[in-house]
């Protein structure tokens, strides 16, 4: 299995507290350990063999960080540059990785998600074609999903409390048997000029075509998607301490 970490974005809403650095290089409390380090180690620990990192904004900072901190595993990384990061969304970064991803199951992660590594395990062992990791608790300003039975039927940021089933945490797993079909859908959307949407638009189209999109849950495990100063404050208080205790110590 491969992983693609989508780290090309500018993170403009968090610059006031994080400066001119990619969000994935946010450090945990009183450590040099970053969100990117935690994701990498969690992925390798879960059995991922290769990691692609889509870079764009301040790409050299990310490349230098990985080269310095993961030098013993550099042969397992591939950097994929999105030169148009300022005017595209994560669908375009994923599209640039299509050739590299073909023929292999993979997990796609937003690069600003910090999470306890155990959250990955059920999703990576799921038997459904596509598996999204969700939290049953409502969180503002994040993508939500509507659920019917064992499947996700709709996803988006505009889902109401009435239709709400869970909060999507920014991690999706694609089984080998669905990868080529999903990547064709991503290619179709990009060729139509829809470079400024989330790749989840492609997932929704597969849902509409009858593809089973399942889910696994975070349970009591800690996680945070960090878009702005408020998210970072929440993570520093409730999430980073648990990651420093568990994942960093490991």
pLDDT in tens, 112-151: 999 999 999 999 999 999 999 999 999 988 999 999 999 9
pLDDT in tens, 61-89: 999 999 999 999 999 999 999 999 999 99
Secondary structure class of 194 (helix, strand, coil): coil
- Is the model more confident about 18 or about 147? 147
pTM: 0.95
- How would CATH label the architecture of 2-248? Alpha-Beta Complex (3.90)
pLDDT computed for residue 13 by the predictor = 86
Which residues are CB-contacts of 172 (< 8 A; sequence separation ≥ 6)?
107, 108, 130, 131, 132, 133, 200, 203
Q: Alpha-carbon distance 238 to 212, whole Å?
A: 33
Task: Supply φ then ψ for residue 104, to 5 degrees.
Answer: -135, 140
pLDDT computed for residue 30 by the predictor = 82
Give CA 123 to chain center in angstroms: 13
**Closest by alpha carbon to 202, among 118, 130, 119?**
130
Whether residue 246 has pLDDT greater than 70 = no
Q: Alpha-carbon distance 40 to 38, whole Å?
A: 5
Q: Could you tell me how many residues make up the chain?
A: 250
Element (H, E) at 236: none
- What are the residue ranges spanned by the domains of the chain? 2-248
pLDDT computed for residue 249 by the predictor = 53
Q: Alpha-carbon distance 27 to 38, whole Å?
A: 10
pLDDT in tens, 197-237: 999 999 999 999 999 999 999 999 999 999 999 999 999 99
pLDDT computed for residue 108 by the predictor = 98
Q: Alpha-carbon distance 235 to 175, whole Å?
A: 30
pLDDT computed for residue 168 by the predictor = 98
């Amino acid at each position: 299995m491969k992983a693609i970490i989508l780290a090309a974005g500018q993170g403009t809403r968090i610059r006031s507290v994080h400066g001119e650095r990619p969000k994935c290089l946010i450090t945990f409390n009183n450590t040099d350990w970053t969100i990117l380090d935690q994701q990498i180690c969690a992925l390798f620990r879960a059995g991922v063999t290769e990691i692609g990192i889509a870079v764009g904004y301040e790409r050299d900072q990310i490349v230098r960080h990985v080269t310095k901190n993961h030098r013993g595993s550099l042969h397992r990384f591939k950097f994929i540059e999105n030169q148009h990061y300022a005017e595209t969304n994560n669908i375009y970064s994923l599209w640039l990785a299509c050739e590299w991803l073909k023929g292999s199951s993979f997990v796609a992660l937003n690069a600003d998600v910090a999470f306890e590594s155990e959250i990955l395990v059920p999703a990576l062992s799921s038997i459904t074609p596509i598996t999204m990791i969700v939290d049953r608790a409502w969180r503002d300003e994040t993508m939500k999903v509507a659920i019917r039975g064992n499947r996700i039927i709709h996803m988006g940021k505009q889902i109401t409390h009435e239709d709400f089933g869970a909060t999507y945490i920014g991690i999706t797993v694609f089984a080998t048997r669905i990868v080529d079909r999903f990547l064709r859908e991503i290619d179709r959307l990009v060729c139509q000029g829809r470079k400024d949407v989330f790749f989840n638009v492609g997932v929704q189209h597969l849902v509409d075509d009858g593809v089973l999109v399942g889910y696994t849950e975070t349970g009591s495990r800690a996680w945070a998607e960090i878009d702005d100063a408020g998210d970072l404050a929440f993570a520093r208080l409730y999430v980073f301490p648990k990651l420093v205790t568990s994942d960093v110590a490991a």
